[in-house]
A and B are shown apart, each in its own frame.
Chain A
Amino acid sequence: MSGSEVMKKEKPKAKLGTFLRLIKTLYSYYPVLLPVTAFCFIFTAAVSSIPPLFFQQVILVIDDSIHTGDWASAMPIILSKLSILALFYLLAIISITISRQLIVVITQGFLYRIRRAMFDGMQELPIRYFDTHKHGDIMSYYTNDTDTMRQLISESLPMLLQSAVIVLTVFFIMLYFCVWLTLLVVVGVIAMLLVTRKLGGGSARYFKRQQKSLGEVEGFIQEMMNGQRVIKVFNHETQAEADFARVNDVLYEDSYRANAHANMLGPIIINIGNVLYVLVAMLGGLLLIAKAPNLALSGLPIGIDIVVPFLNMTKQFTGNVNTVAQQVNSIVMGLAGAERVFALMDEEPETDNGYVTLVNAKIQPDGTITETTERTSHWAWRHPHSDGTVTYTPLAGDVILDHVDFSYEDGNPVLFDITVHAKPGQKVAFVGATGAGKTTITNLINRFYDISDGKIRYDGININKIKKADLRRSLGIVLQDTNLFSGTVIDNIRYGRLDATDEECIAAAKLAGADDFITRLPEGYQTVLYGNGANLSQGQRQLIAIARAAVADPPVMILDEATSSIDTRTEAIVQRGMDQLMKGRTVFVIAHRLSTIMNSDVIIVLDHGRIIERGSHDELIAKRGTYYRLYTGAFELE
């Protein structure tokens, strides 16, 4: 209740929408368990509001017998009443056990499914999403946001439900006993709500600020820890500490304000409850003494048997209001988390309208191609046509870019009229400054991004018609930033082709020139890599990435600065492997180091998204243009 008030100040519709969607999602996952759990919680809550009724009856009995001191005659009556109460309690314990166990099952099951939904959805998102979102932000969907949702589902929502039921039941029991006293309690509760709204709202505001300054402190620490060596070299320690003190102090200010608000809310509400208790006692006493006529649903006259349980109910009532107030923050944060998680799940997946697939092929003696399920050394594109016929084109690795234009954002083109024809087995190199569009071109070939205008054909087939997974399977990529996965070295190589045997993986490593250092690792091919291969040098990582591409054995390879971190002497060793790897394949290569690309069939020089020169090394040198100036070092590659 008070929570919703705070929420109303934000974006009420969005929050309500998120809340409803959360409940709907929960319900769709657990159509039976969810109502059962909710029922158990409500039942538990209802039962825990009942004791005052029995208390009142027991007091009546005591009152009747206390002057006679006749326990023997009073006992059976009390015992029978308490037996019924005990029965209720037993039911309550059973239902609380069930509800608690079930909510664990539901919460964890929900988190499991939501994580999967997020992760599975994320795998389908276009590269653009990852290029435009910070990794830290994506990670916090899985960590912070799911954590706040866990809190919301397993604690806040049940508490909210239970408290609402208790407050409602107690309210009616109060009305049953005495309307006057009930009115007084209502006034008190309104006061509590006002305080909650004021303090709770302040606390939520400061918690948000705290989140923000925490982010700033984290960013600062990250930058400084990365640059710690530079700090030492420049004797900049004192200055760095002073700078840190500034952001750290802001965080302190925000966090103590947020926490002070939250911490003070409890005592204030509880003690308003205490004051209310006193007021109820005084009004009750007054009514008793004045023998005032009672107004109650029960029609009972006012008596001590009503005032005393009423006092207990006042406690219960205000206690539950407090419970709700304490949940305000976690409800607000939980819904904000849910909103972000849903936003991730709502992201548009990468579209794939491809229908041309890659199949194992058998070449018949007469030259025709047939499809087969067994693994052959031949592949073919299976191309179904609208008239129902199917044609097979052998996989060769012929790539044509035909007048391709591209822009990452509308109105901001980065590639203009790019035309390139890479024939099977050719090596095509791209040269140019950072931002000239080299990597962008390779991103288009494997459809990480889709072109704006023009056509790209693979073996004569428009790549838009090829199923993305099959297109990418026919292309090997080795990037400058090699990304390895936690696991053994051999599993990392096998990532290129999951059914590759150990022998094939080792052969690929040998081809890439990686076998030498791998065998010298403590566990050889079984050495476990962690943290993106943190235990290897950048050069070694690149060698593994090359082996990974080699084992995939695709007809077309894209090497984007694949050897940039390997020093010149080691590169000479790798070069042999690379030459071996490139043999018989169509290769697109991007390299900073011109020695790597000199022997290409075609070198394409790019400048601001346009092809400005093309030709073989000798042709371009003879031309004395940009390539020549680059080559002679008169021009910086930036």
Chain B
Amino acid sequence: MYKTLLKSVGKYKKTAIATPIIIAGESVIEALIPFTTAKLVDEIRAGCEYSVIVKYGAILFLMACLSLVLGGAAGYTSAIAACGFARNLRRDMFHKVQTYSFENIDKFSSSSLVTRMTTDVTFAQNAFITVIRLAMRSPLVFLFAIIMAYIMGGSLSAMFVVIVPLLVFGLYMIAKKAMPAFHSVFHKYDRMNESIEENVIAIRAVKGFAREEYEKQKFNNAALEIKRDFTKAERIVALTAPLMQTCVYLNMLIVLFFGSKIAISSMGLDLDVGQISAMLTYGVQILISLNMLSMVYVILTISVESIRRISEVLEEEPVITNPENAIYEVKDGSVDFIGVNFKYSAHAERYALQNIDLHIKSGETVGILGGTGSGKSSLVQLIPRLYDATEGVVKVGGVDVRQYDLETLRNNVAVVLQKNVLFSGTIKENLLWGNENATDEEIREACRLACADEFINSFPDGYDTKIEQNGTNVSGGQKQRLTIARALLKKPKILILDDSTSAVDTRTDAKIRKSFREYIPSTTKIIIAQRVASVIDADKIVIMDGGSIVDIGTHDELMERCEIYRETYDQQMKKAEGGVANVGV
């Protein structure tokens, strides 16, 4: 789990390794400064020459400068290493997601991917900086301080044998008690925030049913519970401060009492005032370093969950990958389904498609009709290999789709998805997705075919009109026509429209189909629709129900023999007196 993440350190390895080394240097100096100071104090006490003071002063000054440079440098390198690590993590996760196939995407919700790439990365970054800064520093400071204390204080340093275990044991007990308490409360905290969000989103329902008081009561219960649990957990952690302080004070009293005893008894030979003062400093250093170590432990524990969630994204293997010796050319726009069965994941109980045999000649127009859940979208998604058939073979241009280079295949098979999106940027930028080298003339041509040119030209900024995030500033019908134009720019051999004209009026719908017939006759067109009118003039119409093909035929043939088709036709057409209808959406 950690290994996966550490790969993302990448080019920041140098700074990541340099940081603890620099900090090690800084820690040495930090340990030497009180040592030198003690010497200075003793010299002053002994009534030394002023030049001696200047000498020590100069040494100390240099040490402080060095420590400043090292400390500053470590601050700088650690910031680069940690922020760079976070940047690479985001980049690597984003890259990984780009390699996902639809099945992988289904597994993670998009909001969970967002959280993983933002909040969780921040946690990982904090953990990383803690490790490279503190995890090195605290043991070192601890070690040096103990050594120096022994050198200076001799037998006096024995007191650490008492104080250190006391602190370690205390910190351990606190961490042990507090961690589980925090774990459960974090969980509840997330849930409380989720329910707030739910309330904000559903505010119309809340107010519509006049449920304000009820919601307040519900929230109060949750908030009260959070308060109780958090208080409990934090009160345990709050014991750290008095524990720490007790140790510091004990250190102070022991040093002062035994220090003066040793100093006086030995007449200043074994210990002197300067050294007593240094012992106080080292004592504090030792205790603080232990406290830091316990912080490292806490931060790492808190971030474990985030690290797990990140590595889940990084370790997810794309289900569909490019084959070896891939084929880079699609011969024509013919499509064949041979004995295809399909389910969305290996664990799924139900097959989404069963016993599909379907042959579409290059250049044909095929309509697909069926209710919700009948398998229409599943069927067409197998053609550009958005999913792989579980059993059986799907062929394009007479070749198994699994043998094509993915990019080649998807460039030749354009799908206009049912749940489609436009991206923030201008209309033109969105259209260029289809073909980044398209000329303005080609773009206008595609928009003419998709009947989008008219409304685009009516905008003051024309093709440079900005599309808001999620395309909220264009209507449903306009959005659909833009997404069709975008797909047309690919100049595909096969064009698939998955319920892509549902919000377009029937007349425009007919106009689009007419231009398809006239301008891209050699392109295979597969049209999924709810409206019979959208498929009525297709070369063949496929009727689907419950994941299977019920019937295939022309309008006349189906009217003759297919009951589902007749029923749908009657329902939609009869109501519309004039023979044209806008009843299906």
Contacts and interface: CB of A to CB of B under 8 A. Distances in A.
Interface string B46-80: 01111001101100110111011011101110111
A228 B490 CA distance: 18
Most buried by A among B423, B478, B581: B423
A486 interface: yes
The 6 closest A-B pairs by CB, nearest first: A267-B71, A263-B75, A483-B202, A633-B506, A636-B505, A271-B68
Given A122-B199, A221-B117, A304-B273, 7 more contacts: A232-B102, A233-B417, A234-B410, A274-B68, A285-B40, A633-B580, A633-B582
A568 B44 contact: no
Contacts of A239: 436
Contacts of A473: 209-210
Is the contact region of chain A dominated by helix, strand, or loop, or is it mixed?
helix
B231 interface: yes
Contacts of A408: none
B207 interface: yes
B148 to A, nearest CB: 16
Given A264-B72, A486-B198, A539-B372, A241 B98 contact: yes
Interface in A171-204: none
Contacts of B216: 116, 119-120, 123
B226 interface: yes
B273 A278 contact: no
B264 A65 contact: yes
Interface string A625-638: 00000111111111
A101 B265 contact: no
Interface stretch (A82-90, A324-332, A371-379): A82-90
Interface in B334-370: none
Nearest to B59: A278
B161 interface: no
B384 A233 contact: yes
B220 interface: yes
Given A86-B253, A104-B234, A285 B53 contact: yes
B407 interface: yes
A341 to B, nearest CB: 13
Contacts of A142: 193, 196
Nearest to A275: B64
A34 interface: no
Contacts of B235: 101, 104-105
A235 interface: yes
Contacts of B417: 229-230, 233
B423 A223 contact: yes
Interface residues of B, number: 160
B227 A111 contact: yes
Given A281-B44, A434-B475, A570-B372, A233 B234 contact: no
Contact of B280 (A245, A265, A312, A484): A312
B159 interface: no
15 contacts: A69-B265, A139-B193, A221-B94, A225-B114, A230-B420, A232-B102, A248-B90, A259-B83, A267-B26, A270-B71, A304-B45, A479-B204, A495-B205, A572-B571, A638-B475
B585 A249 contact: no
Contact of A311 (B37, B105, B205): B37
A255 B263 CA distance: 52
A631 B576 contact: yes
A233 B415 contact: yes
A496 interface: yes
A531 B112 CA distance: 12
B133 to A, nearest CB: 8
A226 B110 contact: yes
A202 to B, nearest CB: 13
Given A58-B256, A486-B198, A267 B72 contact: yes
Contacts of A434: 475-476
Contact of B87 (A54, A79, A251, A282): A251
Interface stretch (A19-27, A396-404, A577-585, A587-595): A587-595
A78 B110 contact: no
Given A92-B249, A104-B238, A260-B80, A139 B53 contact: no
Most buried by B among A234, A304, A572: A234
Contact of B583 (A130, A135, A484, A593): A593
Nearest to B320: A232
A112 interface: yes
Contacts of A85: 252-253, 256
